[in-house]
C-alpha cells in the first residue's frame, strides 16, 4: 500500500495532504467518540487514500472553477468506486469499503450505492464529517479557505441528511474545544483562520 501512497503524493500532493489531514482529524473525532482502537485505525488508513480514485479523473474537471456540468458530475462521482477497485486487493476489506462509501449520505441520497443510515459503515460516517470540514477550511483551486465557524454551520445544517448526527456532534465537540484550537489545529492557525 505504501507504494500507492507514494504515487498519490507524487502525482497530486494537494490531494495527498487533504487525505493526511482528513485522516488525522477523523481519528481525533473517533477517539473523542470513544470508538474502539481497530475502528480508529481503519478510519486513519482509509482517510489517507479515500480520494485516491481522483487520480483517474481529468485534471480539468477536478480544478474547474464553479459547479461541474451534469456530464462532469457523472465523471466526478466515479472516484469512490475507482478508489475501491484500486485498493481492494491491497488492504483489508473493511478499509476498502470505507473508501467506497465515503460519499454515501445517511438519507440515502449519496453515491455510489445510495445506501443509508447504518448501512454506511460507522467509520465512513465519521470520515465524512472530517472530509467536509477539511475541504471547507482548506484552500482549493477555485475557493479560498473558509473559516472554521462556516464549516461548523454547514455540518450542523446537514446533520441527519448528509451526515450522521452523532459524527457531527463528535467533530463539533472537538473543533469547538479551545484546547483543540490551541494544540491540534496548528496548520489552520498558521493559515491565520479564526475559529
Ligand atoms: Fe471524495
What is the model's pTM?
Answer: 0.91
Higher pLDDT among residues 134 and 178, named by residue? 134
How far is the centre of ligand 1, averaged over its atoms, from the C-alpha of 116 (Å)?
17
Task: Please write the tens of the pLDDT for every residue from 90-109.
Answer: 999 999 999 999 999 999 99
Examine the pLDDT at 184 and tell me if it is beyond 80: no
Give the largest Cα separation in the chain, rounded.
Answer: 44
How far is the centre of ligand 1, averaged over its atoms, from the C-alpha of 136 (Å)?
13
CB 108 within 8 A of CB 114: yes
The pLDDT value given to residue 187: 46
Burial pattern 120-151, b for ≥16 Cβ within 10 A else e, equals bbbbbbbbbbbbbbbbbbbeeeeeebbebeeb
Examine the pLDDT at 66 and tell me if it is beyond 90: no
How far is the centre of ligand 1, averaged over its atoms, from the C-alpha of 19 (Å)?
10
How far is the centre of ligand 1, averaged over its atoms, from the C-alpha of 185 (Å)?
22
Using alpha carbons, list the distances in angstroms from residue 45 to 18, 87, 90, 137. Answer: 13, 11, 12, 22
Rounded to whole angstroms, the Cα distance separating 173 from 127 reads 15
How far is the centre of ligand 1, averaged over its atoms, from the C-alpha of 135 (Å)?
10
CB 79 within 8 A of CB 54: yes
How far is the centre of ligand 1, averaged over its atoms, from the C-alpha of 59 (Å)?
15
Domain ranges of the chain: 2-190
The pLDDT value given to residue 59: 92
> How would CATH label the architecture of 2-190?
Orthogonal Bundle (1.10)
The pLDDT value given to residue 101: 98
Q: Cβ–Cβ contacts within 10 Å for residue 71, how many?
A: 9
Examine the pLDDT at 191 and tell me if it is beyond 50: no
Task: Please write the tens of the pLDDT for every residue from 111-137.
Answer: 999 999 999 999 999 999 999 999 999
Q: Which of 108, 169, 131 is nearest to 24 (CA)?
A: 131
The pLDDT value given to residue 193: 40
How far is the centre of ligand 1, averaged over its atoms, from the C-alpha of 112 (Å)?
11
Amino acid at each position: 500500500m505504501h507504494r500507492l501512497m507514494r504515487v498519490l503524493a507524487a502525482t497530486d500532493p494537494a490531494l495527498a495532504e487533504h487525505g493526511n489531514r482528513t485522516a488525522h482529524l477523523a481519528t481525533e473525532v473517533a477517539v473523542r467518540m470513544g470508538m474502539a482502537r481497530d475502528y480508529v485505525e481503519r478510519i486513519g488508513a482509509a482517510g489517507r487514500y479515500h480520494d485516491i480514485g481522483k487520480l483517474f479523473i481529468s485534471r480539468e474537471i477536478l480544478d474547474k472553477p464553479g459547479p461541474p456540468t451534469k456530464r462532469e458530475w457523472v465523471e466526478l462521482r466515479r472516484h469512490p468506486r475507482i478508489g475501491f477497485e484500486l485498493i481492494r486487493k491491497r488492504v483489508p476489506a473493511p478499509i476498502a469499503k470505507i473508501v467506497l462509501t465515503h460519499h454515501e449520505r445517511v438519507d440515502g441520497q449519496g453515491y455510489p450505492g445510495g445506501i443509508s443510515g447504518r448501512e454506511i459503515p460507522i467509520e465512513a460516517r465519521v470520515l465524512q464529517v472530517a472530509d467536509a470540514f477539511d475541504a471547507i477550511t482548506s484552500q482549493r483551486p477555485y475557493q479560498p479557505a473558509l473559516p472554521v465557524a462556516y464549516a461548523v454551520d454547514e455540518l450542523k445544517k446537514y446533520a441527519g441528511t448528509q451526515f450522521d448526527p452523532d459524527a457531527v456532534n463528535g467533530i463539533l465537540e472537538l473543533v469547538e474545544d479551545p484546547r483543540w484550537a490551541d494544540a491540534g489545529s496548528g496548520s489552520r492557525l498558521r493559515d491565520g483562520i479564526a475559529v
